[in-house]
């Protein structure tokens, strides 16, 4: 039953239910178990609302240069600056994919964001593949017209003989 004196409580309760906070975080860490000669691979982890997805950053660093608390390389050496630049770029790309997916999807998981970052999925198509699909009919027409011209050329030479 509806009571006008308590309607504000109902609206407040419904508003709280509709506003869901989403947690999103990207962190980087090194995989110490894959250490070779003091060099370790850098991994990434995306966490969204409790879902976790991990991936390789395709970067390696000297174990002594890694700051575990800061999730990045220590110092100002060329190696540290280059790695930190790459990690900032990766983080920006992941954030961009998360925002795009959040705009389109009602529910976004860490795996969805990781897959979008890695180019896995039906939605993402490489420019080269898209270009190839668009130009394929043109290629066929060119080949057919070249074959037609070649056939005419061959037939006209036979007449000359």
Q: Which residues of the chain have pLDDT under 50?
A: 1-2, 7-18, 122, 124
Q: Give the pLDDT confidence score for residue 119 in this predicted structure.
A: 84
Q: Residue 156: what pLDDT?
A: 66
* pLDDT on residue 21: 65
Q: For residues 24 and 46, give the distance between their C-alpha atoms in angstroms, rounded to a whole number.
A: 7
Q: Which residues contact 54 (CB under 8 A, 6 or more apart)?
A: 43, 44, 45, 46, 114
Q: Is 38:63 a contact under the CB 8 Å cutoff?
A: yes
Q: How many CB atoms lie within 10 A of CB 49?
A: 13
The pLDDT of residue 12: 46
CA distance 19 to 6: 21
- Give the per-residue pLDDT at 92: 95
Q: What is the pLDDT of residue 14?
A: 46
CA–CA gap between residue 52 and residue 117 (Å, rounded): 14
Beta bridge partner(s), residue 41: 60
């Amino acid at each position: 039953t509806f009571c006008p004196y308590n309607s504000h409580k109902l609206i407040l309760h419904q508003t709280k239910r509709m506003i869901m906070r989403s947690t999103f975080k990207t962190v980087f860490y090194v995989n110490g178990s894959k250490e070779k000669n003091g060099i370790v691979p850098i991994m990434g982890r995306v966490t969204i609302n409790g879902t976790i997805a991990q991936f390789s950053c395709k970067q390696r660093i000297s174990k002594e240069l890694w700051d575990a608390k800061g999730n990045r390389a220590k110092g100002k050496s060329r190696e540290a600056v280059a790695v930190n630049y790459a990690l900032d770029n990766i983080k920006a790309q992941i954030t961009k994919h998360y925002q795009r997916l959040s705009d389109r999807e009602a529910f976004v998981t860490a795996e969805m964001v990781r897959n979008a970052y890695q180019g896995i999925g039906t939605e993402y198509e490489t420019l080269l593949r898209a270009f190839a699909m668009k130009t394929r009919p043109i290629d066929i027409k060119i080949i057919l017209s070249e074959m037609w011209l070649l056939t005419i050329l061959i037939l006209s030479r036979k007449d000359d003989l």
